[in-house]
Structure 1
Amino acid sequence: MTNILRKAIVSGELDMGQKISETTLAQQLNVSRTPVREALKQLEREGLVEIVPRVGTCVRKPTEKEIIELFTLKEVLEGLAASQLAQRGDVPELHELIRAMEHMEKSVKEGNLDGYVEANDGFHEAILKGSGNSKLQFHYNLLINQLPYRRFVYLTLEQPDRLGKSVEEHRRIVEAIKAQDSQLSEQLMREHVRKSGGKLTEIIKDKLLKK
């Protein structure tokens, strides 16, 4: 139950600020209200929903300050993951990373934004897994689940020229990791996350926080 609701929020299926009815969810999922209520309490602890007594529950809107803080941490964690993957050499995750990159390039040629976003997910997942650091992965997942991250990816990629620049940034990261240059891998990954976060910050007020 918790995983189902978390996925709906993180993917953007449930919009930020959207009210959530325990009764409606229970009916849709064919369960009692008790597991729904417990799932919502867990998601409140994770910062994904807000429960207001006698008012109800809604998907929480992160503030601009929170988004900046979360992307700052994301930059550090993913930079470290890229560095550690580069040091591990020819591991299975490296080949997953290369396949994701190929899928991204193919999606761009076909004008398939959905395919690109899916490949982007695989790209970043391969880097996190490839770090070989379970604690890093745990804290990254805890962090990323505080954001409707996939929606944010769509928002940034819809900006002029961002898609082409994103492809090139990813390509350079792959080449640095293949060359086992841990320092450059970390630098390029951090720059990529910083640019994505910066672009998101530019549009966040109008497209998200002013709804």
Structure 2
Amino acid sequence: MQARGAARARVLHELREAIIRGEHPPGSPLSEGALAETYGTSRTPIREAVQQLQSEGLVEVVPRVGTFVREPSRRELGELFQLKAVLEGLGVQLLAQRGHVAELDLLRDNLDESERAVTSGDVERYAALVHDFHGLIVQGADNTRLSEHYQMLMNQLAYHRIVMTTLRHPGRLDISLQEHRTVLDRIVAKDPFGAEQSMRDHVRSSQREAMTDPE
């Protein structure tokens, strides 16, 4: 029983990460047999993982048709970004009110490394740093419920995939870095409402990039 639970947890984690990273693109089919072969397990852990991912909004099961990576509609994507603005806005508010905590030094280091990535045009590295930057803010807010809801939201957005797409838009790397610096400046100044506004502006900017139809 313990081994089965470990197999289920491993498959769930690895499949979730693969979807979020875009290894299984939106709309692509998920075959139980193929996944069982990939993860070296029986179909039962695959089936259980798919059920969990369906509840998280990452997978869609169509009766008598198959299982697919769920692709949010344009409306759903807009709603998820609205929630992101609220949760991250709260996160920077709480962080700005805490004073000097370890996350502030980590955020400064993040921005220094982000600048090097932007200078070298390393989109993949910068995308990873974007994920870390936002994660550090939520971590620094020190609110367990916020962290739980935020993680589920980020999974549903498949945020890494979105970031990788938008950062290839002309000028977006520099703009994103400047927006991050503005957010951190407001946090360091212990300006919770200014930090919230800057973060909401940043999320709206990201939303516009993500929802711009490709030419």
The two structures share one fold, judged by TM-score above 0.5: yes
* Separation (CA, whole Å) in 2 of partners of 1:66 and 1:25: 28
Q: CA RMSD in A?
A: 1.1
Q: Which has the higher contact order (CA 8 A, sep 6+)?
A: 1
Match of 1:42 among 37, 49, 52: 52
Question: When the two structures are superposed, what TM-score results if normalisation uses the length of structure 1?
Answer: 0.94
* Separation (CA, whole Å) in 2 of partners of 1:28 and 1:150: 23
Residue 188 of structure 1 corresponds to: 198
Match of 2:171 among 152, 161, 165: 161
2:16 maps to a residue whose letter is R
Q: Percent identity?
A: 45
The CA deviation at 1:168 is: 0.7
Instruction: Count how many residue pairs are aligned between Structure 1 and Structure 2.
Output: 205
The CA deviation at 1:53 is: 2.1
Task: Kindly report which structure 2 residues correspond to 1:6-25, keeping only aligned pairs within 5 A, or say none.
Answer: 6-25=16-35
What is the CA deviation profile of residues 45-96 of structure 1, one whole-angstrom value per residue up to 9, with x for unaligned ones?
1111111222211101110000000000000100110111111111011111
Matched, 1:107 2:117: yes
Match of 1:3 among 5, 10, 13: 13
Question: When the two structures are superposed, what TM-score results if normalisation uses the length of structure 2?
Answer: 0.92
* Separation (CA, whole Å) in 2 of partners of 1:101 and 1:174: 9
For the residue of structure 1 that corresponds to 2:212, the secondary structure is: helix
Residue 5 of structure 2 corresponds to: none
Gaps of 5+ in 2: 1-10
Task: Kindly report which structure 2 residues correspond to 1:42-121, keeping only aligned pairs within 5 A, or say none.
Answer: 42-121=52-131
* Separation (CA, whole Å) in 2 of partners of 1:50 and 1:104: 36
For the residue of structure 2 that corresponds to 1:170, the secondary structure is: helix
Q: Which runs of 4+ in 1 moved over 6 A?
A: none
CA contact (8 A) 2:123 2:168 kept: no
Match of 1:140 among 123, 132, 150: 150
Matched, 1:150 2:149: no
For the residue of structure 1 that corresponds to 2:156, the secondary structure is: coil
* Separation (CA, whole Å) in 2 of partners of 1:130 and 1:177: 11
* Separation (CA, whole Å) in 2 of partners of 1:152 and 1:88: 31
What is the CA deviation profile of residues 95-139 of structure 1, one whole-angstrom value per residue up to 9, with x for unaligned ones?
111111111101011111111011111100110000011111111
* Separation (CA, whole Å) in 2 of partners of 1:198 and 1:110: 25
For the residue of structure 1 that corresponds to 2:60, the secondary structure is: strand
1:195 maps to a residue whose letter is S
* Separation (CA, whole Å) in 2 of partners of 1:107 and 1:38: 39
1:198 maps to a residue whose letter is R
Matched, 1:177 2:197: no
Residue 43 of structure 2 corresponds to: 33
